[in-house]
Amino acid sequence: MSIIRFDLIEIVQIIRKHRRFVLIVSCVAAVLGAAFYLIKNKKYTAKTEFIVSNPSYTDRNNLYSANEMTFIDYFGGDDDIDRVIVLAESDTVITKIVENAHLAELYKFDMNRPTAMERLKQKFTKSFKIKRTEYKDIEISYTDRDPNIAADVANESARVIEESFRGYYNNVRRHAYDAIKDKVHQEDSTINILTDSLAALRDKYGIYDIISPARENVIIGNVKGTANTGFGKGMEQIQNIEALKDQFVTDRAKHSSYLNEFAPGSKADELRLTQVISKAKPPVDPSGAGPILTVIACALLGFFFSCFIVLVSTYYKAIISLQR
């Protein structure tokens, strides 16, 4: 018996010779693939897309820009998108999504166990995907056996991510707002104390003229007083306290203006930084390969497997016959 060369022509002839076996194996693999598709647990993937706005537009310097206008792109840049993705993959945001979507109840996790939350977050992470697209928007997808749960979790994820992203900038403004507000309250208290002191000094020395050096636009005339002892000292005290009070009043007016500028964004739902362009809906078709593609893939797998078995078996028989 001649040695089998196993070139392309020889391989085709061997497969053709055992075509019945190859066909049977391919058909069996196709039937098994169809059966597997029918009995397997189908999963559904819901997707939502949103764009990120430029946070610079919500800054007080741009909201109240009166002197010079600077062009700022309405859409967020790559750095802003990166920050959104980092927030979405953070433990804080994942925990909030899991709690808001009530996944512990839906997946029947016993939260009394110490490791329940960690296992629940791991299960969520496996089904949750976030990515940027070539159009600089963000796509969120969630996979679950229930299409309604998949859609609800995807939409809730987009809402929580936006809330966390916006909350960072709003918290910065809110902290500045609270600091300025406390300063205004302190200035109010100081102004009230200085007002009481001035009123007492004016009544004591009988001086009711405006004698504040800080009021440069006020023409100060001659202050006439009595020959009472301490009149000059009283005038100096009134002048010093009046100048100090005028400065506090000026600072308070300026800080009150700043307070109004930092007010936008201090409320929970102001100055949103993302815009959903495609809301997640319960998917109709399950994710993964469809029935036709599954049957074809299994049939091809059976075909190549049977061809491999036939070729190996033929080669092995040729080796045995040669040795004999």
Residue by residue, pLDDT tens for the chain (324 residues) are 455 556 677 778 888 888 888 888 889 888 888 888 777 778 899 999 999 988 877 777 777 766 666 677 788 888 899 999 999 999 999 999 999 999 999 988 888 888 889 999 999 999 999 999 888 899 999 999 899 999 999 999 999 999 999 888 888 888 888 888 899 999 999 999 999 888 888 888 777 777 766 655 544 555 555 555 577 787 888 888 888 888 889 888 888 888 887 877 656 566 788 889 999 999 887 777 777 888 888 888 988 888 888 888 887 777 777 665
pLDDT, position 1: 45
The DSSP code sequence of 128-190 is EEEEE-TTS-EEEEEEESSHHHHHHHHHHHHHHHHHHHHHHHHHHHHHHHHHHHHHHHHHHHH
The closest of 41, 38, 37, 281 to 149, measured between CA atoms, is 281
The closest of 300, 311, 313, 314 to 23, measured between CA atoms, is 300
pLDDT, position 85: 93
The pair of structure tokens assigned to 72 is: 């700022």
pLDDT, position 3: 53
Tokens 């201090």, residue located? 266
pLDDT, position 46: 94
Q: Left (φ > 0), alpha (ψ -120 to 50) or beta: where does 282 sit?
A: beta
Report the half-sphere exposure of 263 (CA within 13 A, side-chain side): 8
Separation of alpha carbons 123 and 103, rounded Å: 10
Sheet holding 138-144, edge to edge: 128-132, 138-144, 44-52, 274-278
pLDDT, position 322: 64
Strands (E), the chain: 44-52, 128-132, 138-144, 274-278
Terminal CA-CA length for the chain:
11
DSSP state of 320: H
Does the pTM exceed 0.95?
no
